[in-house]
Chain A
Amino acid sequence: MSDGHGTGERESATAELARCREEIERIDNEIVSLLARRLKLGKRTGDLKRAAGLPILDPTREAAVIRRVTGVARDAQLPTEPIREIFWQIVGMSRRVQEQTSESL
């Protein structure tokens, strides 16, 4: 482990690490609040689908959402498969929220 890193260097790295972690926590908070916003919109689209007499489950729309974010991820040079997995989870959450509303009506 003692490959030439001095005490000063190590201390500044530790401080930088703590700053990075704080920033990560801020980003995580943002992600969660963005998800909350997205789910709220999901609930709204559920109500609108019912008002328009459309079915809640819309695989064509889900597939289009996934394809679109795949392209966005690729343009951002992110690995596309994990992003697709994350968005399938989000799409699934949104679908469940939409279905919940129908039960409560």
Chain B
Amino acid sequence: MIIVTKSDVSDAEIDHIRERIESLGMRTHLSRGERRTIIGCIGDESLLDEVPLRSLPGVESVTPVLKPYKLASREFAADRTVVRVGGRDARAEFGGREISVIAGPCSVEGRDMLLSTAREVRQAGASMLRGGAFKPRTSPYAFQGLGEQALRLLVEVRAATGLPVVTEVMDTRQVDLVAEHADMLQVGARNMQNFSLLAELGRVRRPVLLKRGLSATVKELLMAAEYIMANGNHDVVLCERGIRTYETATRNTLDIGAIPVLKRESHLPVIVDPSHAGGDAELVAPLAFAAIAAGADGLIVEVHPDPERALSDGDQSLAPTGFATMMQSLAAFAAAAGRTMGTPAEARAVA
């Protein structure tokens, strides 16, 4: 159930409405927008039958939310959510007018490659750095990532470049460690329904990048976001990364339709991973263009200084020059979608 308040509602009236609802053992969530304020009710909605909500002072309208996700639903928020990542020295945001692009290697393989990649992607207009420390690989014999060493390298390169960093957390035991080092925590596609991990991330004060599972529906993705939010962390960015279909010419099928659907169903920002969707470096740019044209708020792209020698996902990684070319062409698609490209970190640092 959501309650839209009158435009001239007072703090005392809001407090009273929330107290009435919370007296029933339910919880409330307040969302203040520019034009309206919304009180969302969470819990057993049948209890609300006892309260004459419409007649409480300050209430404009009362609407039931029929969807299973509440906090993640568009109705629950007065405005679209802008997720802010990082701090004063290195920051990025998702869901505003600007398109934000995260770029970097699939895995952190060493200091030099990470630093050189970070500098080149920043130069090309990326606003955040990605780099895997713990890698969920299909084969237990494949390269598993550098772990803690990679986390320390990410911190070092963040300081050197001013790019906030995102890295994947695979296990509840790693959450605190990764949160100490990274600005944003990624939940990989294979972990999208690892509910104990999602609950743990709800307790962390770091934004979460939630990737859609290989065979997960839009509804399941939003329910996964709801898990994180219901546990207290409302800074969630959704990521479409391709789903499994019968098509074998591409690694996965990028679900372009999911972008406008997610933006209609939820107030959370939506970004797209064209690297994993196509599984082929040649497909990255066209899929990125389509994503931005369809209304995505950003991208996450794999860039490796020497894709041929990458320890993981070399086939789908762009070389820095290819990334720069893509970023230049992307500006026109962003403009067509009524968006702007982020100012490169270097220009921001000078300003």
Contact = CB atoms under 8 A, between A and B. Distances in A.
Interface of A: 57, 59-60, 62-64, 66-67, 70-71, 74, 81, 85, 88
Interface stretch (B16-24, B76-84, B139-147, B265-273): B16-24
Contact of B19 (A57, A67, A85, A88): A67
Contact of A59 (B11, B16, B24, B30): B24
B15 interface: yes
Contacts of A85: 232
Given A66-B18, A66-B19, A67-B22, 15 more contacts: A57-B25, A59-B22, A59-B23, A59-B24, A59-B25, A60-B23, A63-B18, A63-B19, A63-B21, A67-B16, A70-B15, A71-B15, A74-B11, A81-B30, A88-B27
User: Which secondary structure dominates chain A's binding surface?
Assistant: helix
B22 A62 contact: yes
Contacts of B19: 63-64, 66-67
Contacts of B15: 67, 70-71
Contacts of A88: 27
Interface of B: 11, 15-16, 18-25, 27, 30, 232
A88 B18 CA distance: 13
Contacts of A67: 15-16, 18-19, 22
Nearest to B16: A67
A67 B30 CA distance: 14
Choose among B16, B19, B27 the residue with the greatest number of A CB atoms under 10 Å from its CB.
B19
A64 to B, nearest CB: 7
Contacts of B20: 63
A65 to B, nearest CB: 10
B22 A63 contact: yes
Contacts of B22: 59, 62-63, 66-67
Ranked nearest first, the 7 interchain pairs of A and B with the lowest CB-CB distance are A63-B22, A59-B25, A63-B23, A67-B19, A60-B23, A63-B19, A67-B15
A70 B21 CA distance: 15
Q: Which of B20, B21, B24, B25 has the most CB of A within 10 A?
A: B25
B48 to A, nearest CB: 13
12 contacts: A59-B22, A59-B25, A62-B22, A63-B20, A63-B23, A64-B23, A66-B18, A66-B22, A67-B18, A70-B15, A81-B30, A88-B27
Contacts of A66: 18-19, 22
Contacts of A57: 25
Contacts of B23: 59-60, 63-64
A34 to B, nearest CB: 22
Contacts of A81: 30
Nearest to B32: A81
Nearest to B27: A88
A64 B16 CA distance: 9
Nearest to B25: A59
A3 to B, nearest CB: 13
A69 to B, nearest CB: 11
Nearest to A89: B232
Nearest to A63: B22
A71 B11 CA distance: 9
Contacts of A60: 23
A56 B15 CA distance: 24
B12 to A, nearest CB: 8
